[in-house]
């Protein structure tokens, strides 16, 4: 079983998500903290406009659309197989529940191990 690494001490301010904090450059963070309210409002407007324009450009990108459709087609076998297996799992658990039988520890351990392997593969 793999051990989870200890997280480094967060440098984000209390109440602000570490994930978002890490996306911001240090110079930008420092400059933003020194801005007045009106300047922060302008930053908000600028960011919203940029997100909107980028989203519009992404939707209009034909090459990206072709690749996304190709990816969806290539993934379809995998997603269908996962869906079928999930339905099998759900139905087996349903049948056991209707019979008043609990899932055994061996099965729970096997499921936990499979999920751990899946998590490791997804993170690499």
Q: Where are the domains of the chain?
A: 19-60, 76-123
> CA-to-CA distance for 35 and 30, rounded, in angstroms?
9
H/E element, 120 = helix 105-123
**Exposed, middle or buried by CB within 10 Å (0-12, 13-18, 19+), for 96?**
middle
CB half-sphere exposure, 90, CA atoms < 13 A: 6
Question: What is the predicted pLDDT for the residue at 1?
Answer: 46
Tens of pLDDT along the chain (124 residues) come to 455 555 667 788 888 999 999 999 999 999 999 999 999 999 999 999 999 999 999 999 999 999 999 999 999 999 999 999 989 988 998 898 899 988 888 888 888 888 887 777 777 6
Q: What is the tens place of the pLDDT at every residue in 83-117?
A: 999 899 889 988 988 999 888 888 888 888 888 87
């Amino acid at each position: 079983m793999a051990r989870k690494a200890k997280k480094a001490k967060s440098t984000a301010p209390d109440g602000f998500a570490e994930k978002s904090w890490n996306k911001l450059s240090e110079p930008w963070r420092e400059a933003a903290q020194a801005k007045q309210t009106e300047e922060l409002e302008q930053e908000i407007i600028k960011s919203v406009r940029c997100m909107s324009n980028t989203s519009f450009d992404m939707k209009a990108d034909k090459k990206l659309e072709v690749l996304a459709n190709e990816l969806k087609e290539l993934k379809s076998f995998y997603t269908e197989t996962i869906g079928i297996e999930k339905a099998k799992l759900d139905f087996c658990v349903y049948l056991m529940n209707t019979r008043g039988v609990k899932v055994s520890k061996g099965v729970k351990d096997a499921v936990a191990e499979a999920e751990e392997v899946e998590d490791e593969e997804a993170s690499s």
